[in-house]
Amino acid sequence: MQAVLQNTSRYLSGGRSGHLIVIGLLVVMFIVGAVLSDRFATSNNLLNVYEQSAGLAFVSLGQTLTILTGGIDLSVGSIISLVAMLTSGLINGNPAMVLPVVLFVLVLGTLIGVMNGAAVVVTGVHPLIVTLGTGAIVQGVALLYGLGPTGKVPLNFDTFAYGRIAGKISIGATIAIALFLLVWFILRYTRSGRYVYAVGDDPHAARLMALPHKRVLIGVYAASGFFAALTAVYLVSRFGVGQPYTGANYTLASITPVVVGGTMLAGGRGGVIGTLLGVYLVSLLNNVLNFMDVSSHFQLVVQGLVIILAVSVYVEKRRVA
């Protein structure tokens, strides 16, 4: 037990030097942006980048947890789509329904996550295949609920996405930071948090030491489902309505910040702070590319190259260590 905890803390500190790479890239990106345009380094632009990072931040927070256990959640996109449709569909413009519906969909997302985790634990099938399957099911249910944008939300529902503290600091993005810090604390200082690393680092050893690995797995997929649902509520707040493909791009997009932030797909190494930096890196990168007048098409190319670059760097580190 002690050994596992020591190991995991060693990995955590290894993760911190990984943070330096991402921070370095953020600084480089900032300098490039500032050189490119006078409007880049203004508080206005940077606050916008901050505001726009919220959606990606929520979903990748949950994804980090599943990847830390050596799994992955490919159903988040479908969960976002279904929950987004239910949010605007059930509220349907009625202010009195906002609170109950938001609570309901957050619980629903969590329950879908619990089912994902249970399916992983019970069947023993690789999470990639399990969540691919459950993702297809959830997407099908979303399409049964409606084939296009469904329902509407009250006007002030956009506070979550567009509200600003003192007219400057985005509320949604700040909530995201708070949640990242909360999860970071849980991972770092609670027993359950250490178990997440232990299960991901060596599932066999975790089982031998009688760690509650089944509960840990169900827990991380439940968290992933919850954060996917939260992303959905955010997106409805931002766009005013949910439609059956609201979350389609988020499944793969949620993985990029995680791996760029230094969390290994093999599990057991990395952490949420790296992911948060990864989210900011992706957001800042898109912003800089906009200033460079790079077409949105080439932005994809750059994103793909960043993934290759990032994973190559981290692999190199592992070999040296």
Partner 1 sequence: MMSVSAMPEKDATSGAFVHTKLMPILTHYGIFLFLVLAILVSGLITPAFVSRDNISNMLMQLAPLGIVVIGQAFVILVRGLDLSVASVMATSAVVATSFSGQNGDAAWVVLAAISVGIATGLINGLLVTKRNVSPFLATLATMIVLQGLRFAWTQGAPSGNVPPFFRSIGTGAFYGVPYNVVIMFIVAIVLAIVLHRSAFGRRMYITGGNPVTAKLVGISSDRITIAAYVICGALAAGAGLILSGFVGVVDNFVGRGFELDSIVAAVMGGVALSGGRGTVAGALAGAAILVVISNAVVMFGLPVQLQTIIKGVVIVVAASLYVNRSH
Residues in contact with partner 1 by CB under 8 A are 72, 119, 122-126, 128-130, 132-141, 143-144, 252, 255, 259, 265-266, 295-305, 307-308, 311-312, 315, 319
Which CB, 153 or 217, lies closer to partner 1?
Answer: 217
Which CB, 119 or 272, lies closer to partner 1?
Answer: 119
Task: Write down the least CB distance from residue 285 to partner 1, Å.
Answer: 13
Written as six digits, the tokens of 236 are: 């409805």
Which CB, 131 or 237, lies closer to partner 1?
Answer: 131
Closest listed residue to residue 301, CA positions, set 258, 35, 45, 309 = 309
Task: Write down the least CB distance from residue 311 to partner 1, Å.
Answer: 5
Which CB, 20 or 144, lies closer to partner 1?
Answer: 144
The distance of Cα 108 from the centroid of its chain, to the nearest Å, equals: 18
Written as six digits, the tokens of 107 are: 């619980």
Task: Write down the least CB distance from residue 247 to partner 1, Å.
Answer: 14
Q: Is 11 helix (H, G, I), strand (E, B) or coil?
A: helix
Which CB, 72 or 173, lies closer to partner 1?
Answer: 72
Which CB, 27 or 315, lies closer to partner 1?
Answer: 315
Sign of the Cα torsion 110, 112, 117, 122 reads positive
Task: Write down the least CB distance from residue 131 to partner 1, Å.
Answer: 9
Q: Which residues face 242 on adjacent strands? A: 150
Which phi and psi (to 5°) does residue 165 adopt? -75, 125
Sign of the Cα torsion 172, 174, 176, 182 reads negative
Query: Buried b / exposed e across 225-243, counting CB within 10 Å, b at 16+?
Result: bbbbbbbbbbbbbbbbbbb
Query: Buried b / exposed e across 250-279, counting CB within 10 Å, b at 16+?
Result: bbebbbbbbbbbbbbeebbbbbbbbbbbbb
The distance of Cα 150 from the centroid of its chain, to the nearest Å, equals: 25
Task: Write down the least CB distance from residue 268 to partner 1, Å.
Answer: 14
Which CB, 174 or 299, lies closer to partner 1?
Answer: 299
Task: Write down the least CB distance from residue 70 to partner 1, Å.
Answer: 11
Task: Write down the least CB distance from residue 301 to partner 1, Å.
Answer: 4
Closest listed residue to residue 87, CA positions, set 226, 221, 205, 229 = 229
